[in-house]
Structure formats: structure tokens, C-alpha cells
Amino acid sequence: MSTEHTQKIEKSAIVSESAPRPAGPYSQGIVSGDLLFTAGFGPQDRANGNAVADSVAEQTRQVLRNVRSVLTEHGVDMDAVLKTTVHLADLADFAEFNEAYAEFFTEPYPVRTTVGSQLANILVEIDVVARVKA
């Protein structure tokens, strides 16, 4: 495909000192226009890189604190979230996850996709799409 016809998309990375560092070639968050996309965050603590707890509820809380750190870095809060994608290591943990998840959002709740996934030594991973000022 010829590069003559490609359009450059304006985007900027968000870096939060409160969220875990990327483990590969990706950004914690990207803003493009009036949308903010986060990476999929696990329950790692930035200080040591380890998962913070063994329960789905506590891991969910840490994951959402990590997501909130990236949003806060751009000046928005969890109310700006339009969509979440949730990966659970075991869908049998859904009720416990859902109770902790609900602590971070108010109505109208973001739309959500929840899937069972093979995760590396964690129980939950979440990424979000939020609306921000362009």
C-alpha cells in the first residue's frame, strides 16, 4: 500500500507515575481526539511490580486504581469511562469481581464486555475507553 494515501492520526501517550510501567512496547494510555484508551492493566503495584492480593475483589480494586491513575494524569475521573473490557481468569469469580467493580462507577455505568481469558498469574485485567476534552 502506498504511503501517499495514508493519513497520520494525531495521538499522544499518557504516562502515570502511579500506574505500573509497561512490560513491553506499549503505552499506559493514548489520547486521540476526544477519546482516551488505556492499556489492559493487571493488579500490579507500581512500587514492586507484584500483584497486590490473591482475591478477585482486591485484584479488581487495584486494577481499577491503576486505570484511574492514567485517567487522572489526563485530568478526568472514572465518570469519563464509556466502555470497559474485562478479562477474568475464572468466570466463576464474576459475582465477587462485579461487587468490587461497582465501587468505582456510578450510573449511567459504562458498557462492559467480560470474557474468560488465560491470564499470567493474575485473576483480572481491565482496559477502558474514556471521553476527554479534545
Q: pLDDT tens digits, the chain, 134 residues: what are they? A: 555 678 888 999 999 999 998 989 999 999 999 999 999 999 998 777 677 788 999 999 999 999 999 999 999 999 999 999 999 999 999 999 999 999 999 999 999 999 999 998 999 999 999 999 86
Q: Do the beta carbons of residue 68 and residue 78 sit within 8 Å?
A: yes
Q: How many Cα atoms occupy the beta-carbon half-sphere of 7 within 13 Å?
A: 3
Residue at grid coordinates 456510578? 106
Cα dist. 130→6, 33, 110 in Å? 26, 11, 9
Can you count the helices (H) and strands (E) in the chain?
A: 2, 6
pLDDT of residue 117: 97
pLDDT of residue 134: 66
**Residues whose CB is less than 8 angstroms from the CB of residue 132 and which lie 6 or more positions away in sequence, other chains included:** 31, 34, 35, 36, 74, 75, 76, 80
CB atoms within 10 A of CB 123: 24
Pick the CATH number of 26-131 from 3.40.30.10, 3.30.1330.40, 3.40.50.300, 3.40.50.2020: 3.30.1330.40
pLDDT of residue 3: 55
Sketch the domain layout of the chain as residue ranges. 26-131
